[in-house]
């Protein structure tokens, strides 16, 4: 069966009815690109850049070191898009600045993601400069993590504009058309998605954190793991709200959380209007196989039923029905 999956590597990702879908890859370090290329991903939907800082003793990669890492990935990916998420530190990811900002009683609700970047403007500016410099060598998109409001997103964009101005003054080239996006992983951003869409070119749903915050379940706490449910009706309706509003606004949307790489959920997400999935390279071909076998017209009535019910048993039953012919 691995052999069979291998055979679809170079095939175009189209549903049975001819709808174009993009499968992108999540990476953590630049050497992950080898597997991305092997699986022929349409691009990188999530480069978790924080790993560049977590790997190091003193935890601060210089602008040039970052530039080298980002431009290496971009060059390897040729003209395919590479979405670099600015450092998502804090919370579950070893907080480097604990000594500066003090330890948080509740790090998942503390100084994390964009909050930490806005509090550490020197660090943030350095990373934005490195990303912009690398954007000259391919197609980079910049993605801000843990956005909770339009107000906060505007501050991040202002920092990006400052970094652009610096480079212009220094005569350093970068892609003037670089696309900007927001992670949708905090419920407030999902609910107020229209206010976010006004400010960005694309959004990417981080289902790992979105589920954590919607259901008040620590994503790393095994004692409540049984409650961590991507099929909770509140999760489905929140994701549906984000997808439909983003599609309506004519902006790009992807999912880069674990839900995108879960074969049980592929058809649900297709039926909800998702056309870009970003996942670990290891999941790409099995998800691709399901997409190739799906007729969107056939699944739509079942997906609509799922969206109309809040009954857990019914939802699970309909998911099974959706996947009846998937092996």
**Given the structure tokens 């749903």, which residue do they identify?**
205
One of 30, 48, 86, 190 touching ligand PEP (CB under 6 A): 48
Window 164 to 193, contacts with Mg ion (CB under 5 A): 185
Q: Of 283, 288, 323, 287, which Cα lies nearest the Cα of 303?
A: 323
**Euclidean distance between CA atoms 233 and 237, whole angstroms:** 6
258 makes contact with Mg ion (CB under 5 A): no
Report which secondary-structure segment, H or E, holds 169.
Answer: helix 150-170
Work out how close the CB of 206 gets to Mg ion at its nearest, in angstroms, rounded to a whole number: 4
Q: Of 24, 21, 22, which Cα lies nearest the Cα of 37?
A: 24
Report CA-CA distances (Å) from 101 to 94, 120, 156: 13, 10, 20
Q: How far is CA 288 from the centre of its chain?
A: 18
225 catalytic? Reply is no
Residues in contact with Mg ion, shown as a per-residue x/- string from 202 to 221 under the rule CB under 5 A: ----x--x------------
Six-digit token pair at 311? 């009954």
Cβ atoms within 10 Å of 157's Cβ, excluding its own: 16
In the complex with ligand PEP, which residue's Cβ is closer, 46 or 117? 46
Those residues whose C-beta lies under 8 Å from the C-beta of residue 286, and which sit 6 or more positions away, are 5, 263
Q: Is 219 labeled as ligand-binding?
A: yes
Q: Which stretch binds ligand PEP (CB under 6 A): 126-134, 207-215, 280-288, 299-307?
A: 207-215
One of 36, 132, 143, 256 is an active-site residue; which one?
A: 256
Q: Which stretch binds ligand PEP (CB under 6 A): 172-180, 192-200, 206-214, 220-228?
A: 206-214
Report CA-CA distances (Å) from 12 to 15, 89, 267: 9, 36, 18
Q: Is 209 labeled as ligand-binding?
A: yes
206 makes contact with ligand PEP (CB under 6 A): yes
One of 32, 152, 209, 229 touching ligand PEP (CB under 6 A): 209
Terminal CA-CA length for the chain: 11
**Euclidean distance between CA atoms 186 and 206, whole angstroms:** 8
Q: Is 208 labeled as ligand-binding?
A: yes
One of 185, 217, 235, 268 touching ligand PEP (CB under 6 A): 185
Q: Which stretch binds ligand PEP (CB under 6 A): 34-42, 65-73, 205-213, 264-272?
A: 205-213
256 makes contact with ligand PEP (CB under 6 A): yes
Write out the binding residues for Mg(2+): 185, 209
Residues that bind ligand PEP (CB under 6 A): 46, 48, 88, 185, 206-209, 256-257
Write out the binding residues for phosphoenolpyruvate: 48, 85, 208-209, 219
């Amino acid at each position: 069966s691995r052999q069979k999956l291998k055979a679809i590597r170079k095939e175009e990702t189209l549903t049975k009815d001819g709808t174009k879908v993009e499968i992108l890859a999540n990476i953590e370090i630049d050497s992950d690109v080898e597997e991305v290329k092997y699986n022929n991903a349409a691009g990188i939907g999530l480069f978790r850049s924080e790993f560049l800082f977590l790997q190091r003793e003193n935890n601060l990669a210089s602008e040039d070191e970052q530039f080298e890492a980002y431009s290496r990935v971009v060059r390897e990916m040729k003209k395919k898009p590479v979405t670099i998420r600015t450092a998502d530190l804090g919370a579950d990811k070893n907080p480097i600045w604990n000594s500066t900002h003090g330890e948080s009683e509740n790090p998942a609700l503390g100084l994390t993601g964009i909050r930490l970047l806005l509090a550490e403007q020197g660090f943030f500016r350095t990373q934005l400069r490195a990303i912009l410099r690398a954007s000259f060598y391919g197609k980079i998109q910049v993605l801000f993590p843990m956005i909770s409001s339009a107000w906060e997103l505007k501050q991040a964009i202002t920092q990006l504009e400052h970094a652009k101005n610096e480079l212009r003054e220094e005569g350093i080239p970068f892609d003037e058309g670089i696309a900007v996006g927001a992670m949708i992983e905090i419920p407030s951003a999902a609910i107020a998605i229209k206010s976010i869409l006004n400010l960005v070119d694309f959004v990417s749903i981080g289902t790992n954190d979105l589920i954590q915050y919607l259901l008040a379940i620590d994503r790393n706490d095994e004692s409540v793991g049984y409650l961590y449910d991507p099929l909770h009706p509140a999760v489905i309706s929140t994701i549906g709200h984000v997808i439909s509003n983003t599609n309506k606004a004519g902006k790009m949307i992807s999912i880069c959380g674990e839900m995108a790489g879960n074969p049980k959920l592929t058809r649900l997400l297709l039926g909800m209007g998702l056309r870009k999935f970003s996942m670990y390279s290891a999941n790409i071909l099995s998800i691709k196989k399901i997409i190739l076998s799906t007729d969107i017209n056939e699944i739509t009535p079942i997906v609509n039923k799922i969206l109309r019910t809040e009954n857990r048993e019914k939802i699970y039953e309909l998911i099974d029905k959706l996947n009846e012919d998937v092996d």
